[in-house]
Structure 1
Amino acid sequence: MAKPFLVTGAAGKTGRYAVRQLLERDAPVRALVHRADARSDELAAAGAEVVVANMLDLAAVSAATRDVTAAYFAYPIIPGLLEATAIFAEAAAESGVGAIVNMSQISARRDAVSNAARQHWLAERVLDWSPVAVTHLRPTFFAEWLISFYQPDGTLQLPFGDGRHAPIAAEDQARVITAILRDPARHAGQVYRLFGAEELNHQQIAAEMSAALGREVRYVPVSLDTFSEQLRDKGFGEHIIQHLRAVAIDYRNGVFAGTNDVVRSIGGSEPMTVREFVTRNKQFYDDRSTIAYW
């Protein structure tokens, strides 16, 4: 019997799409989730082997990596990334995992002001030291941000000034992830920046959203302090607030800008435009109570 692919963060944005896309190709999948809930039930119903494990538990992660052919590693923006990465690298090496696809971020660098971004850069280095072949992915801001930060009054209130980026959907990222998992040798040692179809500023993004929804969406620039307070009011922790403040400055300075053909050349299809993404996800804008992206 074929060895499974391991997808961590399998109930998250990129993870659940990666699970589905692998299953659609008749590949066996072990889906690692932090807790059992309706999302993990959906993965199991689709045919995945669901494993509930804490990524900071070496024994549990070692069990999850056993008899795995290749693995996708993703960790949320919460404290613990470096420990989780070291645990995963050790478990993967001990278990003989053939390759790892690592979800990093475009702002990952040695001198990043964001603690999380700097930790992602260090996590890349930890995986590079591992004997397991690794491919790093560095996406720009997810298109899903356009749902998470959409306000009931039809505004996007963000501290991004006139900066630009090409929003990339989690589904398109998953196409790259699954393609690399299925042919890892070709991509070993590579670092891929991931972008969506079109680079836009937030005024242009709001115009595309307006066209998709048939009602006005406005971009309202706010200060970093206002943004931070809005995040606190929504229950965000200080780790992610510090990260989002820092990357907002990075964004203004062009760190998140750019385009390339990685989604098409590796993932096999053109990435979604902003208008296509919003049209596909219109129900989230029509019913704000359904939103669960964070």
Structure 2
Amino acid sequence: MTILITGAAGRTGGYAVRALLERGHRVRALVHRADERAERLTAAGADVVVGDLHDLDAVSRATEGVDAAYFVHPIAPGLLDATAVLLQAAEENGVGALVNMSQISARRDAGSNAACQHWLGERLLDHFAGTVTHLRPTFFAEWLVLFPDFAAGELRLPFADARHAPIAAEDQGRVIAAVLADPAPHAGKTYPLFGPVELDHHAITEAMSRALGRKFTYVPVGLDEFRADLERRGHPAHRVQHLVNVAVDYRNGIFAGTNDVVRTLTGVEPLTVEEFVKRNRGEFRS
């Protein structure tokens, strides 16, 4: 098969590219810019093309001769426009299957604008003539790299004592590859994706501490402090609105749960928090 991976320089897309190449498929990798990440994809054997998901001509060229495609969009304005562009291009070029990266908080009445747009995007893609599969992951394990105060050894987040089972992008990449390689059994399915163990953030920082050999502590904070910290770090307004509202969802149990989807679809147990941290030790700055 020839398979298109959008967002191929990103976390889930990059892992999906490698998993599909290992399976012997031809992979076309759509990236936003030609940089070192794109060069690594080329070196791995992917056909790298540069283009914008909002550019219909570029996406049409990227989908020519493609059997199946993976769609992912960052937490940024323009999700629904990009969804419509991909849908049109896929229809024009006879793409047979789409795998869509949504999120577990996607629903009609979501407080997050991005989560509501993901739900609407799912409904748009449901009209696709080929097969469609939606993936709805809980919070990525990669959050643990982005949010700690490494100097203080603190993880300051507004999640109270609620729980979730962090899922690594690596495991999601294997799921994406498995569905794209054999789309028919997954037609019309929506798969919530979880890691193997549901934890609160006190237990998560204990696992981080064991893996890194230094103490990390979870410090619950309020929503206003979290919003102010995001704004101080320079996050755009659309992302801040999303992250604050999904923090409320998290407290309300929207991100909780576990299942066996990763193991069932890939034959591989998903990474625990401790395994993820050990595997990505270099990304945890001292």
What TM-score do you get using the length of structure 1 for normalisation? 0.96
1:128 paired to 2:105: no
Give the corresponding residue for 2:275. 276
Tell me how large the CA RMSD over aligned residues is.
Answer: 0.8
Give the corresponding residue for 1:207. 206
2-side partners of 1:154 and 1:93: how far apart? 50
Structure 1 residue ranges (4+ consecutive) displaced by more than 2 angstroms after TM superposition: none
Give the corresponding residue for 2:116. 118
How much does 1:143 deviate?
Answer: 0.2
How much does 1:15 deviate?
Answer: 0.3
Give the alignment of 1:48-127 within 5 angstroms. Answer: 48-127=46-125
Q: Secondary structure at the match of 2:110?
A: coil
The code of the aligned residue for 1:119 comes to Q
Gaps of 5+ in 1: 289-294
Give the corresponding residue for 1:167. 166
For residues 208-260 of structure 1, what are the alpha-carbon distances to aligned partners after superposition, in whole Å with 9 as ceiling and x for unaligned? 11111111110011111111111112111000000000000000000000000
How much does 1:108 deviate?
Answer: 0.1
Give the corresponding residue for 2:187. 188
2-side partners of 1:93 and 1:252: how far apart? 40
The code of the aligned residue for 1:160 comes to F
How much does 1:129 deviate?
Answer: 1.2
2-side partners of 1:37 and 1:233: how far apart? 28
Counterpart selection for 2:10 from 2, 9, 12? 12
How much does 1:150 deviate?
Answer: 1.6
Give the corresponding residue for 1:151. 149
What TM-score do you get using the length of structure 2 for normalisation? 0.98
Tell me the percent identity.
63
1-side partners of 2:201 and 2:231: how far apart? 23
The code of the aligned residue for 1:138 comes to R
For residues 51-85 of structure 1, what are the alpha-carbon distances to aligned partners after superposition, in whole Å with 9 as ceiling and x for unaligned? 10011110110110010010000000000000000
Give the corresponding residue for 1:292. none
For residues 175-205 of structure 1, what are the alpha-carbon distances to aligned partners after superposition, in whole Å with 9 as ceiling and x for unaligned? 1100000000000000000000100000010
- Is the contact made by 1:228 and 1:241 (CA closer than 8 Å) also made in structure 2? yes
The code of the aligned residue for 2:64 comes to R
How much does 1:26 deviate?
Answer: 1.8
2-side partners of 1:60 and 1:281: how far apart? 34
The code of the aligned residue for 1:277 comes to F
Quick check: 129-138 or 192-201, which moved more? Answer: 129-138
Q: Secondary structure at the match of 1:180?
A: helix
Give the corresponding residue for 1:233. 232
2-side partners of 1:182 and 1:173: how far apart? 14
How much does 1:132 deviate?
Answer: 2.3
How many aligned residue pairs are there?
A: 285
For residues 123-170 of structure 1, what are the alpha-carbon distances to aligned partners after superposition, in whole Å with 9 as ceiling and x for unaligned? 000000121210000000000001111212211110000110000000
The code of the aligned residue for 2:100 comes to N
- Is the contact made by 1:92 and 1:132 (CA closer than 8 Å) also made in structure 2? no
1-side partners of 2:77 and 2:130: how far apart? 24
Give the corresponding residue for 1:266. 265
1-side partners of 2:94 and 2:148: how far apart? 44
Gaps of 5+ in 2: none
